[in-house]
Structure formats: structure tokens, C-alpha cells
Structure 1
């Protein structure tokens, strides 16, 4: 069966090339869309999980950028015996020098250790810690202008999280003046034996304007992540449909040209089931070859995207095993559905008509 499939693919080299090209385009598109969207979610969720078992934001807020929590709440939270560490964070974005938009993080001093210092020192009031990728883009290496306010660069840090590495970190007091808020969120580290769910209920009773969630629950239900995932799925589905239509069209032409071959096979007693199996095996070969090419191309593109200095690490994507398996199955479906549709059409035609070369 495999030998026949390879012979058939070699005999129709142009059509085989066009099918592989269409498959590679569709599969690579799905790879990139899925990987980049998951990369964005992974980076932000990693940042949130880095220092907190519980996250407190303003109640009924759609995005952390709009959240405003009274930082003085930390004093009350520290009275709870289950709390090991309480820190606050302001998340914002601003123009920095000639860069159109840069992530700005205002943090309490007990969060500075989260940033791997490569040079200089952690910032005092009026100073800023700059991510490595941003620092390399700055013309002035001593001072930086953030939202029309000048800050002295105290040091440079490096982070594996693109959002952080492409951002700037300053004292929460300075960030509060820039964004006119107390804190975007308060993050709590709890003792090992703490019942997180019970503590969350207790914290929510302290202030009716706040909403406490376990970090895992917060990440799983974060609205922006849902929007990104939904958008990614919609675009991937469109790519899937485009690939399916293109491949079905090319295979329909190919099968139409091979109708004499199918007619002879059916006339000498070969069942249409075996012919369909051969076509399906051809499709599986095409899908596997296209998948291998696509995963190589996608990794190369993602590598360049990750290292483009202009993007400052904000756009990042990694192909996980789960994504690879999902897209491999998707590739097989595209190829099989694209081949079965015209093949079934051919199976309904009388063998004599197929041999004669009339249109299917």
C-alpha cells in the first residue's frame, strides 16, 4: 500500500508539491498563532505566579491595568497569621523615550529580589531599573523619560519573562504618581499549611471593594487570557478551513486526472474501499511530511521573533508537546478530509465512465 502511495505521489509531482505547500502554509499559520498566543499567556501567568499564592484586585474589574487597590490594606493583611509575605504591584504601560509603549512595573521593595540584577543597584525614589532589552534600545544610558517624568537609571536587570525583560521597574510610590493609583494588585505568599480557599473567603470579608483569588484560579479565569485564546482559536479555525478548501480543490483535480486509473482498478475487481485506503495513505504521508517541514519553519520564525530587538521580548512563543500533538492531529484531519471528499465523489461513478475519461 505504501509503495503504491509513494508511486502515485511521484507520478503527480506538481500536484504533490502544491498540496504540501498548502498544508505547510496552513499548519505553520496554526503553529504560529497558537504558539504566540500561548506564549503571551504563559509569560503573564508566570509573572503573576512568581510571587504569590493569592492575588487581590479591585472587585468586578475586567483587567489588571484598570484595577486600583488601596495599598494600606497590606497592613491589615499582615495581621493574618497565615500570611508569610505581602507585596504590591502596579502594572501599566507608557511611552519611554522614543519607544512607543513599554511595560512599567511599580513594586514594593520586597519584590525587587524578583528581578535578576545584572548591573548597578535596585532603584530608590526617583530612580528606575531597566530591562536588558529596553536598555539596549536607549540612546541615553543614564536617564530615562517615562510619561514626561525623568528618572535616573540605577541598574539593569534580566528576566526570562519577555514582558519583564522589555519593561522598566520603579518604586511603587513613583508608579503611583504616574498612573494615579495606589496599587493594581496585592500579592500574598502564604505559609505551607494554609488552606488557601478559606483564607480567600476571609480576605474578601475585610473590604467589599476588593476581590481575592488564588493565583491559579485568577490565571485560569482571567478575562484577557480568555479573549486571547478565543481569538487564537477563531483565526486557527479560519486557517484550517482555508487549507481544507485549497487541498480539497487540488486533490479533486488530481483524482479527476486519475479517474482512468481508478476505473481500471475497479474493473479488475479492486474494491473502492482499497482505493480509498490508498488515497488516505497518500494523504497521511503528505500530512506527516508537511508537519515536519512546518514545525521546522515555525521554530525558525519563533526564534527570530524572540530575538528581534524591536519587539523587546513582548512577542514570544514556544511550541509545547501538547501544541505539537494538537496540530499534528489537525494536519491529519486537513489532509484526510481534503482527500476523502473528492475520493467519495469518484467512488459513486461507474467504472466504465471512469475508464472512458468523462468528468466526475
Structure 2
């Protein structure tokens, strides 16, 4: 144990004596590990976020869209072609409500972000969600008080809204929000309900939203926008048949011949999960490949720095060997120096990586996720780089002839 601590002291003394060299070596490791942690945290956060959102929707729900949004990542030419598909409209909503007997609930949705104000109080970046009266059956939106949107609200394009808990607390901290007037964008709305408070999902606030009738949304923000239609079946037994009924009804209504492809897209929860997993694996693999190159470059720099250190400390090595130091002692000291450099770089890189991930999550909708796996992996990688690229300089130092070394 005394031998270890003595070598540890000698290693720190050697590193402190060459501050600039030590700093540059640590910096290489910091950049590599920081990149790994930031990438893994954001990708894992997005993965958990997507799966949680899909799970909330339910496995017996499918969505009709203008096009498959994932095409922009998987097949860009097909994505450009799909942009020309007809919009999903309120007429499509009414058609499917009539033509799909197996559908228990049929809802339409369209989203954007805007600000909410009440008197002098303001909430920025609120998710404005245009929905029909059937949205409570499709998602999980229990009320704290008040009521949900009604059929009359939708048919008459009323300026009524149901807001999230945090909006109610921010705009009306000393009184109930029910019956109060808020301004969404440029229009005034009456608050008819407030949803229960929800916990954050991976740092993403679940209480910053406002439901308004989909018809009111289109009146306020423009009618030439495509909707999404969510259809929920009573059970999984009728799920596949309801999807086929939906596809048939839309193809017939749009006059598509059997030889023509669908000019719309139907998504299920399972499809979304599998597509996202494939995309996230691809993104993760590509980014890790780039980071791995950085690690190799950093490792080569570490090896060169250690070789320079061996050359500069030839006389020191000769003195140590002449007074009885064995080859193993010399190898251990130089390996210990490499491990200290990469260990410090790994620890700083982990902290900076999570800091960058949290900043990205704060400035964008991308959540991040902290788990033990990337931390342990990053530490193993950093120490592994230290050992792998520190062995050769350490072996070279241990093979020096003490007589030759003392002459230099």
C-alpha cells in the first residue's frame, strides 16, 4: 500500500511539473467523454420520452396522418413525394366517424405553440392543442376542476379552453382559473376547465398546454392545415379490422384506384416504437462512431505525450533503476500517470456531458435521461484508453539501460 501511495505521489508530481502537457492531454479525453455522455443522455432521453408518450396513448389507438413523419429520416425522396398528399380535414373526420363502426372514439388533433396572457401575467411557449370533444378518451387528461370541451364548443367554434395546471397557477395564483379569460395569441378565451397536475417526464413539463376546439384552432391559425385523426377501438380484437375499414373508406372517398398507393399514412403504437428504435440506433451508432475516432486521436496524443515524458525523464529512470527499481515499478508509475490523466478527463467529461445535455433540454423540446450505464461506460472507456495507449511508453521506459540512461 505504501508503494502504491508513493508512486501516486510521484505521478502527481510529474504531472504538476508539466502543467500544459497534462492539461492538453486531459482536454482530449474531456472532449471525447463529454461527447459520449451528451449524445447517450439525449438519445436515451428521447427514447424514454417517445415510448412514454406512445404508452399514454394506448395500444388500441391508431393515427391517420397526411404522411409518415419518420420518412424525413428514413427516405427523403419518399418524404418529398408524401408532402404532396391531400390534407387530412374535418370532412375526413366526419367520414371516418360514419364509416368505421368498430371505432369507439374518433378524435382530430392539430398542435402549435403560442403565448398565454392574463392581465400582466404571461406564459410563453405553451402547447396549443386543437381537439374535438372526444380527446379525453384518447389521452390521459383528468380534470382538477371544471369540464372538458363539449360537442357544442366544437360545432359553434367557441372560444373556450381547458388549460394545464401550471398555466392556471401562473396566470391566476390567488384565485381559481375557472371562468376567467385568457388571451391565446391574439384572441380571448374563456377557461372552462383545468387539468390535474402531472409530473415531468425526463425534465419535460407536462402542464404547459391549452386545449381549444379544433374548429376554433383552424379559424384562428388558418384552415389550410392538415389534421391528425386518432381512432380508438374497444379492444385489440377489432383493431386490425378497424384499420382496414379506415384505409378502405379513405381510398374510396379519394377515388384511389387499386394500382395506386395510399396518399395518407396510418400509424400504430407498435409501428412508432419499432421505427423510433431503428432510427435511434442509427443515430446513436453514427454519433458514437464519430466520437470513437475522437477517442482514438486522443489516445494517440496521450501516447505521444507519454513518449516525450519518457525521453525527458531518461536520467530520472536511470537513477531509479540504479537504486533498485524493477521494470514493473517503472511500468506501474508511467501507467499510473496515464490513468490519472484519463481518469480526471473522464470525470470532467461526464460532468460537462450532462451539463450540455441539460442545457440542450432546457433550450429545446429534447429531453435527456441520466442513468448509471453511460457513466460507468465512460469511466471504463477513459481508463481503457489510458491503459491501452499508456502501455507502450511505460514498456519503453522500463527497458532503458540504467547505465545509458545516466549518461544522458
Question: Scaled by the length of structure 2, what TM-score is found?
Answer: 0.62
Q: Which residue of 1 aligns with 2:375?
A: 324
Asked if 2 retains the 8 angstrom alpha-carbon contact of 1:30 and 1:239, the reply is no
Q: Which residue of 2 aligns with 1:172?
A: 214
Displacement of 1:51: 1.2
Aligned counterpart for 2:148 among listed residues 122, 146, 156: 122
Asked if 2 retains the 8 angstrom alpha-carbon contact of 1:176 and 1:183, the reply is no
Asked if 2 retains the 8 angstrom alpha-carbon contact of 1:280 and 1:339, the reply is yes
Displacement of 1:55: 3.3
Asked if 2 retains the 8 angstrom alpha-carbon contact of 1:247 and 1:338, the reply is yes
Displacement of 1:191: 1.9
Aligned counterpart for 1:6 among listed residues 5, 8, 28: 8
Write the distance in 1 (CA, Å) between the matches of 2:42 and 2:190.
34
Write the distance in 2 (CA, Å) between the matches of 1:135 and 1:353.
82
Displacement of 1:355: 1.9
Asked if 2 retains the 8 angstrom alpha-carbon contact of 1:31 and 1:295, the reply is yes
Aligned counterpart for 1:146 among listed residues 169, 174, 184: 184
Structure 2 unaligned runs (5+)? 73-78, 252-261
> How many aligned residue pairs are there?
348
Q: Which residue of 2 aligns with 1:48?
A: 54
Displacement of 1:317: 1.8
Q: 1:350 to 1:295 in 2, by over 3 A?
A: closer
Q: 1:56 to 1:8 in 2, by over 3 A?
A: farther
Q: 1:238 to 1:270 in 2, by over 3 A?
A: same
Asked if 2 retains the 8 angstrom alpha-carbon contact of 1:96 and 1:102, the reply is yes
Displacement of 1:107: 2.9
Deviations 1:315-359 (A, max 9, x none): 532212443344344433443455357557x4698646982586x
Structure 1 unaligned runs (5+)? none
Single out whichever of 297-306 and 51-60 deviates more from structure 2: 297-306
Q: How large is the Cα RMSD of the aligned pairs? A: 4.9
Q: Which residue of 1 aligns with 2:110?
A: 90
Write the distance in 1 (CA, Å) between the matches of 2:171 and 2:287.
33
Write the distance in 1 (CA, Å) between the matches of 2:124 and 2:283.
22
Q: Which residue of 2 aligns with 1:131?
A: 164
The equivalences for 1:171-320 within 5 A come to 171-177=213-219, 178=221, 180=223, 181=225, 183-188=227-232, 191-193=235-237, 203-206=246-249, 207=251, 208-222=262-276, 233=288, 236=291, 240=295, 244=299, 247=302, 251-260=306-315, 279-280=334-335, 283-284=338-339, 287=342, 291=346, 295=350, 314-320=365-371
Of structures 1 and 2, the larger Rg is shown by 2
Q: 1:166 to 1:356 in 2, by over 3 A?
A: farther
Q: Which residue of 1 aligns with 2:133?
A: 109
Write the distance in 2 (CA, Å) between the matches of 1:182 and 1:92.
12
Deviations 1:19-45 (A, max 9, x none): 567645653453234323432443244
Q: Which residue of 1 aligns with 2:405?
A: 355
Write the distance in 1 (CA, Å) between the matches of 2:107 and 2:378.
40
Asked if 2 retains the 8 angstrom alpha-carbon contact of 1:86 and 1:189, the reply is no
Single out whichever of 285-294 and 320-329 deviates more from structure 2: 285-294
Write the distance in 1 (CA, Å) between the matches of 2:4 and 2:234.
59
Write the distance in 2 (CA, Å) between the matches of 1:288 and 1:193.
56
Write the distance in 1 (CA, Å) between the matches of 2:404 and 2:104.
78
Aligned counterpart for 1:79 among listed residues 95, 101, 109: 101
Question: Scaled by the length of structure 1, what TM-score is found?
Answer: 0.68
